[in-house]
Structure 1
Amino acid sequence: MGYAVVACWLLLAALVVVTWGRIAADRRWRGFVLLLTLGFSLVHQLLFATVTDAALVTFKYAQNIADGNGPVFNPGDRSEGYANFLWLVVVALPKAAFGADIKTSAVVLGAASTFGCVLIAYFLVNRVTKLALPEGGEARPAVGVAAAVLTAGASGLAVYGPSGTETPFFVLALLSVAYALVASRPVVAGVLVAGAVMTRPDGVVPVVVAGIWLVVAAARGRHTWWAPAGYGLGALVFLVPWTAWRATYYHHFLPSRALRPHVPDWSYLAGFSLAHLGFLAIGLIAIVALAARRTHGRAAAARSSLWLLFILAAGLTLFVAILDEDPGPAWQLLAPVPPLLAVAAVGTYAALTAANPSPRPRTVSRLVPVAAAALTGLAVLASLLSPDLLAGVRDERTQTAQLAEAGQWLGAYLPAGAVVSAAEPGAIASRTGSQLFVVGLSANRATVAVTGGFTERQNCAAGPDSTPAATFRRIGTPYWITVYPRADEASRLIDGLEQAPGFQYVSCPG
Structure 2
Amino acid sequence: MGYAVVVAWLVLAAIVVLTWGRLDTDRGWRGFVLALTLGLSLLHQLLFATVTEDAFITFRYAQNIADGNGPVFNPGERVEGYTNFLWLVLIALPRAAFGADVETAAVVFGVLSALGCVLVSCFLVNRIVASATPPGTEPRPALGVAAAVLTASAGGLAVYGPSGSEVPLFVLLVLAVGYALAARRPVVAGVLVAFAVMTSPEGLVVGVLAGLWLVGAALKEKRSWWAPVGYVLGALVFLIPRLAWRATFYQHFLPAPLAAKLGGPLGSQLAAGWPYLSGFALAHQGFLLLGVVAAVALLLRRTEPAFRGLRVAELPARGEAPVVPAALRGLRVAEAPAVVAVEARALIWLLFVTAAGLAAAAVLVGGDPGPSWRLLAPVPPLLAVASAAVFGVLTADVEGKPSPRPRSSPARLVPVIACGLAGIAVLVSVFSPEMLGRVRDWRAHGTELAEIGGWLGEYLPPGSVVSAAAPGALATHGGQLLIIDVFGRTDDHIARDGRHEGGISTDYDYVVNDRRPTVAVPADGGYAERQHCAIDPVYAGKYEVATFRRVGTPYWVSVYPRAEQAKSLVADLDKGPDFRYVPCPS
Q: TM-score, normalised by structure 1?
A: 0.96
Q: Report the 3-state secondary structure (helix = DSSP H, G, I; strand = E; otherwise coil) of the residue aligned with 1:326.
A: coil
**For 1:369, which of 404, 409, 415 is the aligned residue?**
415
Partner of 1:386: 432
Tell me the percent identity. Answer: 61
- In 2, are the aligned partners of 1:118 and 1:149 still within 8 Å (CA)? yes
Alignment pair present for 1:496 and 2:534: no
- In 2, are the aligned partners of 1:447 and 1:486 still within 8 Å (CA)? yes
Measured at CA, do residues 464 and 320 of structure 1 come closer, stay the same or move farther in structure 2, by a change above 3 Å? farther
AA partner of residue 552 (structure 2): G
Partner of 1:462: 535
CA deviation after TM superposition for structure 1 residue 130, in Å? 1.5
Alignment pair present for 1:481 and 2:557: yes
Deviation per residue, 1:364-391 (Å, 9 max, x gap): 2111111111011001100011111111
Alignment pair present for 1:414 and 2:456: no
Distance (whole Å) between structure 2 residues aligned to residue 292 and residue 264 of structure 1: 35
Measured at CA, do residues 286 and 77 of structure 1 come closer, stay the same or move farther in structure 2, by a change above 3 Å? same
Partner of 1:290: 298
- In 2, are the aligned partners of 1:299 and 1:355 still within 8 Å (CA)? no
CA deviation after TM superposition for structure 1 residue 504, in Å? 3.1
For residues 228-243 of structure 1, the aligned pairs below 5 Å read: 228-243=228-243
Residues 368-377 or 461-470, more deviating: 461-470
Deviation per residue, 1:447-474 (Å, 9 max, x gap): 2121321010122343372445332222
Residues 352-361 or 301-310, more deviating: 352-361
Give the paired residue count. 509
- In 2, are the aligned partners of 1:8 and 1:40 still within 8 Å (CA)? yes
- In 1, are the aligned partners of 2:12 and 2:36 still within 8 Å (CA)? yes
The structure number with the bigger radius of gyration is 2
- In 1, are the aligned partners of 2:193 and 2:203 still within 8 Å (CA)? yes
CA deviation after TM superposition for structure 1 residue 254, in Å? 1.6
Distance (whole Å) between structure 2 residues aligned to residue 59 and residue 308 of structure 1: 34
Q: Report the 3-state secondary structure (helix = DSSP H, G, I; strand = E; otherwise coil) of the residue aligned with 1:504.
A: strand
Partner of 1:330: 372
CA deviation after TM superposition for structure 1 residue 94, in Å? 1.4
5+ long unaligned stretches in structure 1: none
CA deviation after TM superposition for structure 1 residue 272, in Å? 1.2
Distance (whole Å) between structure 1 residues aligned to residue 394 and residue 422 of structure 2: 23
5+ long unaligned stretches in structure 2: 306-339, 488-510
Alignment pair present for 1:428 and 2:474: yes
Measured at CA, do residues 273 and 469 of structure 1 come closer, stay the same or move farther in structure 2, by a change above 3 Å? farther
Partner of 2:516: 445
Q: Report the 3-state secondary structure (helix = DSSP H, G, I; strand = E; otherwise coil) of the residue aligned with 2:560.
A: strand
Distance (whole Å) between structure 1 residues aligned to residue 562 and residue 299 of structure 2: 62
Q: Report the 3-state secondary structure (helix = DSSP H, G, I; strand = E; otherwise coil) of the residue aligned with 1:75.
A: coil
Distance (whole Å) between structure 2 residues aligned to residue 269 and residue 320 of structure 1: 8
For residues 295-306 of structure 1, the aligned pairs below 5 Å read: 295-297=303-305, 298-306=340-348
AA partner of residue 278 (structure 2): A
Partner of 1:399: 445
Partner of 2:498: none
For residues 265-284 of structure 1, the aligned pairs below 5 Å read: 265=272, 266-284=274-292
Distance (whole Å) between structure 1 residues aligned to residue 432 and residue 135 of structure 2: 47
Q: Report the 3-state secondary structure (helix = DSSP H, G, I; strand = E; otherwise coil) of the residue aligned with 2:51.
A: coil
For residues 59-138 of structure 1, the aligned pairs below 5 Å read: 59-138=59-138
Distance (whole Å) between structure 2 residues aligned to residue 30 and residue 10 of structure 1: 18
Deviation per residue, 1:266-310 (Å, 9 max, x gap): 332222112111101101111111111223433321110011000
Point out 4+ residue stretches in structure 1 off by more than 6 angstroms. Answer: 357-360
Distance (whole Å) between structure 2 residues aligned to residue 325 and residue 507 of structure 1: 40
Measured at CA, do residues 277 and 26 of structure 1 come closer, stay the same or move farther in structure 2, by a change above 3 Å? same
Distance (whole Å) between structure 2 residues aligned to residue 464 and residue 401 of structure 1: 28
Partner of 1:310: 352
